[in-house]
Structure 1
Amino acid sequence: MTKSLNAIAQKLMTPGKGILAADESENTIAKRFAKINLPNSLDLRRDYREMLFRSTEAMTNYISGAILTEETLEQRAADGTEFRAIMAETDVIPGIKVDRGAFPMPGDSGEKITEGLDGLRQRLERYAQLGAGFAKWRAVITINDIAPTRNNIRANAHALARYAILCQEAGIVPVVEPEVVGDGEPGNHSLERCANVTGDVLETVFKELRLSGVDLSGMLLKPNMVLSGVNSRDRPTVEDVARRTVQVLREHVPAAVPGIAFLSGGQTDEEATAHLSAMNQIDNKPWPLTFSYGRALQNVALRTWAGRRENFEPAQLAFTHRAKMNALAALGKWRPEIDKAA
């Protein structure tokens, strides 16, 4: 089992490829659709995901895995072809989001705890039968004047560890996502505050993973980058973000982890790409660094598609461009002029 889990993790971290996060819940995708005046219907959700998955050049050359929702894992394209079969044609590993969302933590700190452990063992057995090779669970760690609290960090880390060991029991690679969010209120924290909180969170998460018996060689980490708050006066350079993020990871992430796939965390498309590329230009990292982006891969494609199947081709070109730029970033080879020229 250890060998097969590691093989899946290594394939997801194929050099020059990354993970497409297409796991928006119905509520989340409703908000994305609302921005382009689209209703949140089953057919439109299907068409949108079909446009992405049938972007053959992007999926073949730049994407190693795609995180899906329960709905999408069993969904079919308009012509009746299962999405799983479409992804198999491009050798993309299907993954599944298994948490049930982040809910308010008891108390007055404005923090959240992720739920979804009840019945997870049975759900994972079914997802494995449907062909899911990996899963994802997102914990949300809030920074504000009184948060994060020790209680919240420990509770979310413990839930991540329980999820991860259940995944490995089912033969599924767990992607462990402890996200330190910087876009809430007041959002005025410095780069250094984010670095300290991120380090504390990672230290606690890996302590809980070890206590639960999780095989670190059969998992992946999906962390935030170290960023200042959206309302902060602190304005770090791309190099500052890259250097501090890699430093925190070196201090707290064991070398046994096969790879790290970053979330974009509210950054613009180009910011997420630039930061990833700068990190990959730093030498002597024990693990490869790549992307596991949702919005930062899909923004332009979503607006180009606009709910119309006749727009598939231009939307796919937009998606392919962003995927290629991030693939270059995963190799440390992205440059702003390449993006603009393309």
Structure 2
Amino acid sequence: MMSSTALKPTFTGPRVPVAKSSRAAPSRVAIFRVRAGPYDEELIQTAQKIASPGHGILAMDESNATCGKRLDSIGLENTEANRQAYRELLVTTPGLGQYISGAILFEETLYQNTTTGSTMVDELNKQGIVPGIKVDKGLVPLANSNNESWCQGLDGLAQRTAEYYKQGARFAKWRSVISIPAGPSPFALQDCAYGLARYAAIAQASGLVPIVEPEVLLDGEHDIDRTLEVALEVWAQTFKYMADQKVMFEGILLKPSMVTPGADSSKREKPEVVADYTLKLLRRRVPPAVPGIMFLSGGQSELEATLNLNAMNQKPNPWHVSFSYARALQNSVLKTWKGQPENKKAGQDALLKRAKANSDAQQGKATSTERFRVLLRKHSF
């Protein structure tokens, strides 16, 4: 039987050196392509203009059905003429541009004229307010989930955003939602984050600054720690997918929910606690490159939304921490106007006072909560 060593080949001749190839070895240095879109500079300028000190966004992008509910609350029929009258009241408020830098419109409003013949877009531009547009197509049930929703509207979005840009819009909004009582399920979180990232990439390609809004709904009995836990996961996935889609962070704005307990929680938190938790979320998830964080009021009262915003701006942070409020700016307006032409000026005064109060909060001008409550009462009806 042969040993294993006998199977090994032996070399008795001299070793012949192998000639080295004259070709240079391929470079191992990776080549990175730097993103450079046709609208990059404009996107950055638009985002910075909206995120300017003392300014925030007026969210007036309610669908016709939702606007109808607002009108019904003051006894008005949901007709185009009544919607026009109310939206005209908002966009023609004298001096609004002192406190409002952007207005989110519904598609009807973007193409709508005022009763004097000017366009709603022109009225906003006169005051230096950037017109924006809601581009999602609303929430629908998410199959095989725990009564969760997903946001539709990606089909045809590139064509629609290009047309909105031509009409004068310079930023966009897309709202998805996450429900804490529903879990939330992992695939609902993923769908929310991915949809927002695709929308943001498409909007930027059309010249619109995307407002990214994964709203963590207030529904539920959960405490503030549970809200923070879910919000951290939502924003981790959202930024991951936006990075994958090569979204330019300097040309976006965020519209997060504040970190609060659920609406049915037995424990309410002071503005200082809400501010601490919300800023903790931002510091852990949001790159400083993002120019503006425009919070939604998310079912909070006018008082709560403004007090919480003020508390956040009492603390140092690298962003423009501001507001993108709908009801928290408009509730007093509707109650004052009541659909009566003779109340138009009073309604506009109410809007101006609410905008001024939130502008003060954006700058953290109140030195104490109690003092700010007094300030807010002066700006409220």
TMscore range, shorter length: over 0.9
SS in 2 for 1:67: strand
Moved over 6 A (4+): none
Q: Deviations over 1:67-100 (max 9, x none)?
A: 0011000101111111111111101100000001
Letter aligned with residue 190 of structure 2: R
Compute the displacement of 1:340 (Å).
2.1
1:81 paired to 2:118: yes
Equivalent residue number for residue 197 of structure 1: 230
Give the alignment partner of residue 149 of structure 2, picking from 80, 105, 112.
Answer: 112
Whether 2:349 is the aligned partner of 1:313: answer no
Q: 5+ residue gaps in structure 2?
A: 1-38, 367-371
Amino acid at match of 2:204: Q
User: Does residue 179 of structure 1 match 2:211?
Assistant: no
Does residue 297 of structure 2 align to residue 264 of structure 1?
Answer: yes
Aligned letter for 2:84? R
Q: 2 CA distance for matches of 1:142 and 1:80? A: 43
Taking the TM superposition and a 5 Å limit, the aligned residue runs for 1:77-226 are 77-144=114-181, 146-183=182-219, 187-226=220-259
Q: Kindly indicate whether the alpha-carbon contact (under 8 Å) linking 2:145 and 2:185 is maintained by their aligned counterparts in 1.
A: no
Query: CA separation in 2, counterparts of 1:9 and 1:225?
Result: 21
The structure 1 residue matched to 2:52, chosen from 2, 14, 17, is: 14
Alignment deviations for residues 181-226 of structure 1 (CA, whole Å, 9 cap, x no partner):
012xxx1010000011011100000000000110011101000000
- Which deviations, in whole Å up to 9, do the C-alpha atoms of 1:307-338 show, x marking residues without a partner? 12221100011111100000000001141111
| Residue 73 (structure 2) aligns with | 35
Counterpart pick for 1:333 among 350, 361, 365? 365
Please, which runs of 5 or more residues in structure 1 have no aligned partner? none
Task: Kindly provide the amino acid, as one letter, of the partner of residue 329 in structure 2.
Answer: L
Distance 1:157 1:339 in 2: 36
- The residue number in structure 1 matching 2:19 is none
C-alpha distance in 2 between matches for 1:318 and 1:258: 29
Report the AA paired with residue 220 of structure 1: L
In structure 2, distance between residues paired with 1:88 and 1:216: 25
Structure showing greater radius of gyration is: 2
The percentage of aligned residue pairs carrying the same residue is 45
Give the TM-score normalised by structure 2: 0.87
Question: Aligned pair 1:231/2:269, yes or no?
Answer: no
Greater relative CO, 1 or 2 (CA 8 Å, sep 6+): 1
